[in-house]
A and B are shown apart, each in its own frame.
Chain A
């Protein structure tokens, strides 16, 4: 143990809206199961962000109920039954607005931190 502990960001530090946005982004390329979503975020953040399972699944279910995702049972890569999540049209739109909002926020924070 301890091998993967580099730069762990506990889920509590992730603003909920941000986690939602990351999930939507993960699914933008195609359907994934929950584990896949976590792995994707982990890999794409260069191992910086580790998504806590305790937050991931409630978030997935919530997005599902809000109609931003759609869940379907299918076969996983190792041929097990797994629940796959797919972005809906509404989800795609939501992702767009979140992306804009995020970049505005990130640059704004950047300006503040860069100032003398």
Chain B
């Protein structure tokens, strides 16, 4: 680009924000033209003044269109100039590759992380379910909020009866179903849905019809019908256009296919992708031998949604529910003294909330952790932006000459600010584009942590970006541009022409107004980084504490294989024999250090309790497990006294049991428990204690080991009790464990061919899953904390390096006058030292305020833990020291002669 070009551009640019003047000039030019034309008509053609004026106007035609054409030219200039600014910015950035690389890397990571977390937020919290008029849908729940979204059958029936004028209510719940296929039995994701489910959701089937109120009862006119998904229809029914009417055997019940739903239909539960929809009232057939419907108000087992009737608002629906609640609860919840978690029956009422986002268990579980993570990544973004702003400012300081030259050539301040902002915009745009590329991988990584089980029936989380995500990211990019660009652009153009005149003396004066802004920004950056580091340290420390909790057994090498025997024909002692046969065969496999049976997988979240009492003592919640012989040896839980259960123990219920230490101490304080008796659930039979074992965690690793009773598997009251085969591998290596799993699965398939092959789960997986949220949060927080430290270090280093370079002359003079290198080092480092200390003070104050956000995720750590705060501050100060030392040492090595010549 030649100097002429530059000059042209800046002269033309000077007129950019003077639109009024341009309009006036346009008018004047037009008036002049008309006047000249008039004169030529008068002088040349002899028209009168009036005729001439009219003719001139007529020649000209539509004036406003003419003006518009001229304005278009000016608008086009804006675009053209933007293009040139962009190419200039690109060239400038290419000239300082180190700066550009750092800027892009930090922005990419920050924007990528923000986009990833936001797309999770979007998928779990924001995105509406793909159903027609989803904003008319609602979810019902019981207030005060102690029940989640769970309902019981009589309550739902009563609600359905009383609310039809206001809304169409529907019930639904997920079920794993066993569908008979030509080569055995397969597990598919199913959904029990009431008769109004489909009509309320409003999606038409592609084939046949949906399940209606007439299908939703025992002995329906058309028999038992199901609606299947498009996926099921394609894969299992071969895409048969005459699939309606075909028979399917599900959970050993024969069904008729009534309809096929369109592709992508997932229903109201957004975590699931059901393949088979079964009428709700057939639950007893599906859950056999259990029956939640006839259990009535004791079983809270499904969710209720609704669609508002035409013209009814959510407020009106809630007003109705509030008023009708006492009637509904009185009719459906018989015990007058019903109480749950401190709330009496008369306190309970039904409430409706917006259901456009569907029902999601994941949302209930992960909304809070995601909110915390979102706050963390916003902090990272702020730090990255502040960092770029300070670096740009430092760089602008070394570009003073260039900027002053442009002022001298006549560029307006607005024009220069626009030029400088284009540079930040280019950085932000590139960072955003790269961040968008990086985001899906990061989001998928987190999804894996949220829904860890590799199981076709585990929750589904679709984090593919949509317009909401793109809009969010665009917003982030604009914010990043503004945050990084505006302050430096204002600062570096603020002095106008004086800039270069003062430049020489400003370096000598050292501190001053010019340095105030970068310092404030750096201090803020250090403060924010400390907040992040403190948060990360708190979460990581809590994770360490969780990891150190003694759990009462050895998790490495434990494998669980649940047998699902409810849907096959054998029962009672024959079934016990099946279990025993499997255990005996597995025991003979090579690499098996122990094998037994158990009713629950510890720490999986499943549980069962009973009350227990003796003449003197009582335990309200005695946690239950049923175990086979050798269970404690397999688990490596210490056996303290008495004997183990045996296959030869009595099959009569409530005869013998093993207690853990906690239960033994509570039931028989100060006595030897072995040989004593107690009764269960207020029953008459006396259970004898045959042994006492060490305490082990039961359902949740955070809770203390509860008082627990282990009864032999032989005396189960259920006819078709199913147990879990527990195996301890003598070598816990992944290859050995998976070989063992395949061998055990083969044994099970041979012994019980009429059940789906059991999915194996290891204790280490279960343990990891039970801490998945905490682990993911602490890992991400550590990552973001480290990122913040790195960014801050780059910022401290960069600004100091620039500043020191500008002070080369001054330092040279100092050295020439006899200053020692260490004086120079302390002089240079002092700048950053002050910033780091001020930042720490700000950061500690911020951390105290922000730590409340993570308080509910901490285990065994106080949000005010001075050790954590001290450690975080120390780490930050150490990083600041390292980042500052390099420029300082370089400054101390300056050769005075060269330095003074440089000036």
Contact = CB atoms under 8 A, between A and B. Distances in A.
A100 B427 CA distance: 43
Given A34-B33, A54-B66, A81 B73 contact: no
Given A58-B73, A65-B80, A82 B66 contact: no
Contacts of B60: 53-54
Q: Report the contact-size class of chain A (Cβ under 8 Å from the partner).
A: 20 to 34
Interface in A36-78: 39, 53-54, 57-58, 61-62, 64-65, 67, 70, 76, 78
B45 A3 contact: yes
A80 B35 contact: yes
B64 to A, nearest CB: 11
Nearest to B7: A67
Contacts of B9: 67
Contacts of B746: none
Given A35-B32, A67-B5, A80-B32, A57 B66 contact: yes
Nearest to A57: B70
A35 B69 contact: no
Given A1-B55, A83-B25, A88-B8, A57 B32 contact: no
A90 interface: yes
Contact of B4 (A58, A82, A89): A89
Contacts of B65: 54
Given A67-B5, A78-B39, A62 B55 contact: no
B35 A65 contact: no
Contacts of B8: 67, 70, 88, 90
Contacts of B91: none
A86 interface: no
B28 A81 contact: yes
Nearest to A64: B12
Contacts of A25: none
A35 B37 contact: yes
Contacts of B12: 64-65, 67
Contacts of A4: 45
Contacts of B55: 1
A58 B69 contact: yes
Given A1-B55, A67-B5, A78-B39, A35 B33 contact: yes
Contact of B29 (A54, A57, A62, A89): A57
Interface in B360-414: none
B77 interface: yes
A88 B5 CA distance: 11
A29 to B, nearest CB: 19
A1 B62 CA distance: 19
Given A53-B66, A54-B66, A65-B80, A82 B73 contact: no
Contacts of B28: 81, 83
B35, B73, B77, most chain A CB atoms within 10 A:
B73
B5 A62 contact: no
A36 to B, nearest CB: 8
Nearest to B67: A57
Nearest to A63: B73
A78 B66 CA distance: 25
Nearest to A59: B73
A57 B45 contact: no
Given A57-B70, A58-B69, A65-B73, A83 B32 contact: yes
Contacts of B59: 53
B74 interface: yes
B72 A58 contact: yes
A63 B314 CA distance: 62
A83 to B, nearest CB: 5
Contacts of A76: 32, 36
Interface string A1-31: 1011000000000000000000000000000
B33 A61 contact: no
A91 to B, nearest CB: 11
A63 B74 CA distance: 11
A3 B41 CA distance: 11
Nearest to B73: A61
Contacts of B66: 53-54, 57-58
B334 interface: no
Interface in B61-103: 61-62, 65-66, 69-70, 72-74, 76-77, 80
Given A1-B55, A35-B32, A54-B61, A61 B37 contact: no
Contacts of A3: 45
B5 A53 contact: no
A76 B745 CA distance: 102
Contacts of A70: 8
B679 to A, nearest CB: 98
B36, B45, B61, most chain A CB atoms within 10 A:
B36
A5 to B, nearest CB: 11
Interface string B637-676: 0000000000000000000000000000000000000000
B45 to A, nearest CB: 6
A78 B42 CA distance: 15
A33 B35 CA distance: 13
Contact of B32 (A33, A65, A90): A33
Contact of B77 (A57, A65, A80): A65
Given A67-B8, A90-B4, A61 B32 contact: no
Nearest to B25: A83
Contacts of A78: 39
A33, A39, A57, most chain B CB atoms within 10 A:
A57
A88 B76 CA distance: 21
Contacts of B69: 54, 57-58
Interface string B1-37: 0001100110010000000000001001110110111
Nearest to A90: B4
A4 B80 CA distance: 39
Contacts of A67: 4-5, 8-9, 12
A75 to B, nearest CB: 11
B302 to A, nearest CB: 70
Interface in A70-116: 70, 76, 78, 80-83, 88-90
A57 B25 CA distance: 12
A65, A81, A88, most chain B CB atoms within 10 A:
A65
Contact of A35 (B5, B36, B72, B76): B36
A1 B54 CA distance: 11
Interface in B214-262: none
A89 B7 CA distance: 13
A89 B73 CA distance: 22
A82 B29 CA distance: 7
Contacts of A33: 32
Nearest to A62: B73
Contacts of B39: 78
Nearest to A61: B73
A78 to B, nearest CB: 7
A39 B5 CA distance: 30
14 contacts: A33-B32, A34-B33, A53-B60, A54-B60, A54-B61, A57-B29, A57-B33, A57-B69, A61-B70, A65-B74, A65-B76, A67-B8, A70-B8, A89-B4
Given A35-B32, A57-B66, A64-B12, 16 more contacts: A34-B33, A35-B37, A39-B40, A54-B62, A58-B66, A58-B70, A58-B72, A58-B73, A62-B76, A65-B12, A65-B77, A67-B8, A76-B36, A81-B32, A83-B25, A83-B29
Q: Which 5 A-B pairs have the closest CB atoms?
A: A35-B36, A58-B69, A67-B8, A61-B73, A65-B77
Interface of B: 4-5, 8-9, 12, 25, 28-30, 32-33, 35-37, 39-40, 45, 55, 59-62, 65-66, 69-70, 72-74, 76-77, 80
